[in-house]
Amino acid sequence: MLGAVALLLLSASPVQTLRVDGEAGNNTLNGVFDAPLGERITAVSSAVHCDIQMSPDGRNLSGRCSVPLTSITVDADPTKTEHFRQWATNRKADPARCMLAAQLEEIAVSLPQASGESSPFQAEVPFTVCGRAREDGGRERVTGTVVRLDDGFYRIRAHVEHFHREAYRIGPRFTEGWLARVQSLAKVVAEEGTLELTLFASPPGTSARPRASGDNAPCSTRPSTRSPHEERKCRT
């Protein structure tokens, strides 16, 4: 009887959402592709957005994270960045409508309850690039930690090894106008890389969006490495 009552209470609990704000400027993706005989290429974005739902018992997370292609820069170089956009879209889609996305499906993790506590997680996660899934239907192994910060935010650090860009048809040999250069680029640009994400998720019922304060001075995005006395704190 008690078990049935507990199950009923859990099923009636409202879904709680953790939000990672893609406009906050501190939710980052860092991808490194290091060719042994070629270049070390770094692709970065600070516009990762996530909507993550907690299960009623707080032990599983589901949702979606995405990064706009147009927010990603390569080696802070406009030419390399434009080439990457062509490779990602295969010159068949508008870069402004293209996303690197990950679908989270009941990832087992116990969210830390006290400030400073950390919980590890690992999961097999399906990714898409401009709507294209991995050609073999496989998933990426994601490992990381969730840490509860002093102000209630969760800092999520996630790591993906062996991300193979050609499995998502990212590259010159899939892109119109690049076929003649495939052989010359083969040893210069690595096919496999590592992805690192650092995200700050707002706890349920709060917002990560900063707003202006005082004399319309912009607020520093929270959470921050600065002390509370060194910066303005404001959220909508």
Position 227 confidence tier, pLDDT thresholds 50, 70, 90: very low
Is 172 domain-assigned?
yes
The answer to the question of residue 231 being in a domain is no
The percentage of residues in the chain with a pLDDT greater than 70, rounded to a whole number, is 75
Tell me if 134 is assigned to some domain: yes
Rounded CA-CA distance 23/164 in Å is 28
Model-level pTM greater than 0.85? Answer: no
229 occurs within a structural domain: no
Q: Considering the domain boundaries, does residue 236 fall inside one?
A: no
Count of CB atoms situated within 10 Å of the CB of 204: 14
How many domains is the chain built from?
1
30 domain-assigned: yes
Domain encompassing residue 73: 14-206+219-224
Does 14 sit behind a cis peptide bond, omega within 30 degrees of 0 on the bond before it? no
pLDDT of residue 39: 83
Here the CATH number for the domain that contains residue 60 is 2.40.128.110
Nearest of 100, 87, 89 to residue 44 by alpha carbon? 100
pLDDT over 90 percentage in the chain: 59
The answer to whether residue 166 is domain-embedded is yes
User: Could you report the per-residue pLDDT of 84-127, keeping only the tens digit for each?
Assistant: 999 999 999 999 999 999 999 999 998 898 999 999 999 999 99
pLDDT value at 233 more than 90: no
- List, for residues 128-150, the tens digit of each pLDDT value: 999 999 999 999 999 999 999 99
Higher-confidence position of 4 and 110: 110
Question: Is 233 inside any structural domain?
Answer: no
Question: pLDDT digits over 161-220, tens only?
Answer: 999 999 999 988 888 887 556 555 556 678 999 999 999 998 766 655 443 333 333 333
Is 231 or 47 the better-scoring residue by pLDDT?
Answer: 47
